Amino acid sequence: MKDDTPDRPQAKLFDAARSMASGIAWAVLMRWAIRFIGLFSALILARLLSPDDFGVAAMGMLVMNFLFELSQFGMAMNLIRRKEIDREHCDTAWTMAVIQGISTSVLLVICAYPVSLYFSEPRVIPVMYFLAVASLLEGLESIGPILLRRELRFSADFRFNVWKKVVSFVATITAALILRNYWALVIGIVADKIAGVVISYLVHPYRPRFSLTHYKEYLNFGASIIPLRAANTMLGMIGQFMVGGTSNASTLGSYRLAGEISRMFTSEIVIPMGRGLLPNYARLADRPDELSAMYRKVLAGIAFFCIPIGVGVSAVAPDLTLVLLGPQWASAASLMQYLAIGAAVFAITQAMVNQILVATGREKSAAVLAWVRLLITAPVLWVGLQYGGIIGLAQATIVAPLIYLPLIYMETRRAVALPVFALVEILWRPLIASVVMYAAVLALPTGMLDYALVRLIADALFGVIVFTAVVFLLWRFSGSPDGAEQITLSAIRQVVDKVLKKRQA
């Protein structure tokens, strides 16, 4: 960046593989640190609050998140993707973020009463008023954290987001201990936004000024990116909106928390990777061979871990729910058995298009594809809900991404080289090994054990052993090709070598 916030000079040529690995590692580490704090918070809150409390808060949060994404002009993406930026680009981005925060907060106030009618829940009205304040605060956040990502300073980005989560955790738990109702969750959200404003000005020297110099550029970029973000946002929320509109707050609370835990082990790996993938994909956009090779490695690694984790969570869902949430959340267990597999399938499809289309200048194609996915998903989920209730909807989350997978593959091939045999090579070994693992875990006679935690540990360890043995046997029988297995073995060898060297020293 020019002027008083310049781009950091490159001491050496850009190392794509190293930068990609570093960005992904920090992004995933950040997300998992945040999810670990969130999981620890959920363990406490699940015993202090009821599914009804989670449902009331979820109603307001669904609307807030949707309106935020709908008014998002892609300031972060535009700043990261541009080759050069100046002071005015940054100031314009910050100014438009402020406008976004104001507009979202006003819409939340206006929509509060209609939303309460849709959900048949009057308690959501004051909740949305408080969330309007949170949205206004979020708009005042500095764009310093975005500049950290542009400069590939992912460790600083990690600290920013984790500290925000710590502040929110402390505020939420404290409020839950005192209030024992859904207001604790709302207070936690407001605290998160306040922390974001304060910390964003501490992690980067950039100080904003009001400016609309480049507003046309952001509006033009937003015109192409908003449809994409809106479709992706609705794709992730449509199930909850359907449950909230046809059931009560308690049912929505169970569905939401079951979905969060299910996604935590799969989608929560894929989604944060976008923070590291976008700037690195963008730098390789004019080197198609390297971009395609890197893309296939990323997809292979995601499939290798997400498929068995999603299937494994499904296999141990009853005991996992009992251990993490307690007996009052028993209804979430039956949902998790299907939502976990649905989350794994969704993670694979999301990984195939995650950032690659935007990084290669195909925002419009990405938006069209996102809307097609939404138009396929919505009726599939609705049919599942109508014929099977909330369980049917959970089952439909598996079916929908399988239907639109061919469309994702066809569009992805326009951005990178991904022959059919390469995609099959990536998926078939972890898929077969996961199916064998699932059957083996269900056949394991752990039902005789009295304690859910003991059963969970036994099933998990047995599942890991079975999957590892089967997937590496299949890899050997197929000629030990380049793939996630080889990368995993190399990483293990490096760790072992380092430990041996330290011991010898």
Mean pLDDT, residues 9-13: 41
- Report the 3 state secondary structure along 291-312: HHHHHHHHHHHHHHHHHHHHHH
Residue 10 has pLDDT above 50, yes or no: no
Least Cα distance to 342 among 407, 408, 392, 383 occurs for 392
Give the length of the chain: 505
Q: How far is it, in rounded angstroms, from Cα 360 to Cα 344?
A: 25
Report the mean per-residue pLDDT for the chain: 84
- Report pLDDT for 299: 87
Contact at 8 Å (CB) between 433 and 484? no
Which is higher by pLDDT, 268 or 149? 149
Band of the pLDDT at 219, cuts 50, 70, 90?
confident
Percentage above 90 pLDDT, the chain: 39
| pTM as predicted | 0.76
Least Cα distance to 394 among 250, 239, 264 occurs for 239
- Report pLDDT for 9: 41
Q: How far is it, in rounded angstroms, from Cα 324 to Cα 44?
A: 9
Task: Please report, as a single letter, which amino acid is at residue 298.
Answer: V
- Report pLDDT for 368: 85
Listed range (9-13, 164-168, 330-334, 411-415) with the worst mean pLDDT: 9-13
- Report pLDDT for 392: 96
Q: How far is it, in rounded angstroms, from Cα 27 to Cα 280?
A: 13
Contact at 8 Å (CB) between 381 and 390? no
Rg of the chain on CA atoms, in Å: 23
Q: How far is it, in rounded angstroms, from Cα 456 to Cα 443?
A: 14
Residue 11 has pLDDT above 60, yes or no: no
Listed range (364-373, 417-426, 437-446) with the worst mean pLDDT: 364-373
Band of the pLDDT at 147, cuts 50, 70, 90?
confident
- Report pLDDT for 268: 63
Residue 76 has pLDDT above 90, yes or no: no
Where is mean pLDDT largest: 138-147, 322-331, 435-444, 483-492? 435-444
Contact at 8 Å (CB) between 367 and 227? yes
- Report pLDDT for 434: 96
Task: Please report, as a single letter, which amino acid is at residue 477.
Answer: F
Band of the pLDDT at 387, cuts 50, 70, 90?
very high
Mean pLDDT, residues 268-297: 74
- Report pLDDT for 8: 43
Where is mean pLDDT largest: 90-99, 311-320, 352-361? 311-320
Residue 271 has pLDDT above 70, yes or no: no
Residue 6 has pLDDT above 50, yes or no: no
Which is higher by pLDDT, 187 or 220? 187
Q: CA distances (Å), 327 to each of 80, 123, 254, 485, in order?
A: 46, 26, 12, 38
Band of the pLDDT at 102, cuts 50, 70, 90?
very high
Which is higher by pLDDT, 222 or 117? 117
Contact at 8 Å (CB) between 125 and 116? yes
Residue 5 has pLDDT above 80, yes or no: no
Listed range (71-80, 173-182, 368-377) with the worst mean pLDDT: 71-80
Residue 118 has pLDDT above 60, yes or no: yes
